[in-house]
């Protein structure tokens, strides 16, 4: 009997989604060319709508091209399978039916017995609920997820797909935009990096940027590497007041006339949210209840308040998020993707469900991690050696409290 395997990508973009789709299909074809492979369009929304694409011979011949592009060839969406009200409002389920019921029904119609959801902790949560529902109704389903998120905040995954590539891309972005410090005297440049509650991406991006800065030649009066550096690093794990930031960058400000900040989009978000709510503003939330950080605009708030404290002539907020998350996988991620796809296909053949990744509780060994162990919201370990080294390289840092 021919096995039908389905793939989907869900949630925000991350580098390597296209490569992950290609790798999974390639490994299944190597195992058995007769495997029927489909991809659901736009994540869980495609499952609920019954919209899929068949990975037939023509597509299989050109899969290698997917390794060179960013985004996802299948499309994505943010759908919570336990939020029936939202699914009904969006026309994803009919009145009186649950999303879990409709998702399981579509998998049965398509003959899917193996599902590869590629996404973050919210995608894993959907997979857990769907697997439980299918088990309860006696419907066979093996779920082998692959973890992707640029935040690298999935517990207990050592490194999620796309995180390293996003940091490298964000650092390349910073090389250009940090030049803005030279366009006008008394300028504050705020580089806002994606990261809701975890500062890993901001820290890793900052590390990569400083690696480049420290290679710059010094030309007296013309090129000072320090001017391209990072003078304050703000992450959710090291919350400080804006007055403290101003005091710490003031020596650089008074001598150089410009400062550069790397800021996680979630750093100080709670404070900014509360201020805007007191002002009567309403901040939209996504289907999972997360405030829309693009509406919170932490970087804008920091630039405005710091600009007032330092009497800046110009403040500039630049966001690397979409640039960083939308590119192809870098070599480090390409290796990780291939290893994860290999393990995922082997485990699926054995009927084992879970999420494939390095396990922090098992010396970071790559394997299949039980679905019920997957949690989001992991924080950056600010006591880690590489983070402490980074803080020492930043001109003015917020010490570990």
Residues with catalytic function: 151
Provide CB contacts within 8 A for 173, sequence distance 6+.
Answer: 191, 318, 320, 323, 324
Could you tell me the two tokens for 54?
A: 């068949």
The β-bridge relationship of strands 354-359 and 365-369 is: antiparallel
- Indicate the DSSP class of residue 71: S
- The answer to whether 178 touches 260, Cβ cutoff 8 Å, is yes
Rounded to an integer, what distance in angstroms lies between the CA atom of residue 390 and that of residue 231? 12
- The answer to whether 113 touches 3, Cβ cutoff 8 Å, is yes
Nearest to 150 by CA among 206, 202, 77, 191: 202
- Indicate the DSSP class of residue 138: T
Rounded to an integer, what distance in angstroms lies between the CA atom of residue 17 and that of residue 327? 9
The DSSP secondary structure of 164-216, one letter per residue, reads HHHHHHHHHHHHHHGGGGGSSSSEEEEEEE--SS--HHHHHHHHHHHHHHTTP
Helix (H, G, I), strand (E, B) or coil at 315: strand
Could you tell me the two tokens for 317?
A: 């907020």
Nearest to 21 by CA among 198, 146, 156, 105: 146
Rounded to an integer, what distance in angstroms lies between the CA atom of residue 124 and that of residue 145? 7
Nearest to 79 by CA among 99, 98, 97: 99
Provide CB contacts within 8 A for 397, sequence distance 6+.
Answer: 232, 233, 248, 391
The DSSP secondary structure of 16-38, one letter per residue, reads THHHHHHHHHHHHHHH-TT-EEE
């Amino acid at each position: 009997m021919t096995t039908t395997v389905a793939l989907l990508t869900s949630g925000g973009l991350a580098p390597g989604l296209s490569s992950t789709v290609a790798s999974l299909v390639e490994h299944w074809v190597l195992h058995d060319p007769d495997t029927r492979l489909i991809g659901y369009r736009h994540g869980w929304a495609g499952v609920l709508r019954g919209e899929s694409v068949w990975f037939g011979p023509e597509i299989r011949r050109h899969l290698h091209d997917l390794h060179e592009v960013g985004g996802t060839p299948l499309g994505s969406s943010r759908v919570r399978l336990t939020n029936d009200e939202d699914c009904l409002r969006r026309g994803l389920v009919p009145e009186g039916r649950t999303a879990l019921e409709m998702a399981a029904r579509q998998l049965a119609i398509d003959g899917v017995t193996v599902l590869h959801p590629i996404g973050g902790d919210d995608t894993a949560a959907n997979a857990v609920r769907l697997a439980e529902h299918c088990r309860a109704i006696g419907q066979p389903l093996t779920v082998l997820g692959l973890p992707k998120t640029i935040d690298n905040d999935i517990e207990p995954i050592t490194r999620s797909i796309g995180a390293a590539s996003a940091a490298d891309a964000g650092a390349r972005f910073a090389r250009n935009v940090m030049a803005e410090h030279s366009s006008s005297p008394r300028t504050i440049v705020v580089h806002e990096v994606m990261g809701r509650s975890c500062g890993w991406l901001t820290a890793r991006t900052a590390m990569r940027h400083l690696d480049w800065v420290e290679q710059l030649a010094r030309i007296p009066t013309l090129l000072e590497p320090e001017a391209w550096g990072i003078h304050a690093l703000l992450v959710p794990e090291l919350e400080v007041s804006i007055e403290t930031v101003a005091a710490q960058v003031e020596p650089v400000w008074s001598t150089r006339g410009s400062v550069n900040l790397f800021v996680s989009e979630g750093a100080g978000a709670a404070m900014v949210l509360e201020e805007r709510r007191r002002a009567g503003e309403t901040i939209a939330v996504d289907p999972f209840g997360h405030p829309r950080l693009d509406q919170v605009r932490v970087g804008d708030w920091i630039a405005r308040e710091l600009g007032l404290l330092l009497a800046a002539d110009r403040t500039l907020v630049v966001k690397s998020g979409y640039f960083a998350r939308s590119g192809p996988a870098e070599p480090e991620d390409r290796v990780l993707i291939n290893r994860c796809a290999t393990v995922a296909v082997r485990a699926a053949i054995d009927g084992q469900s879970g999420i494939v990744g390095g396990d922090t509780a098992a010396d970071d060994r790559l394997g299949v991690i039980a679905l019920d162990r997957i949690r989001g919201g992991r924080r950056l370990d600010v006591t880690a050696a590489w983070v402490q080294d980074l803080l020492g390289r930043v001109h003015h840092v917020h010490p570990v409290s």
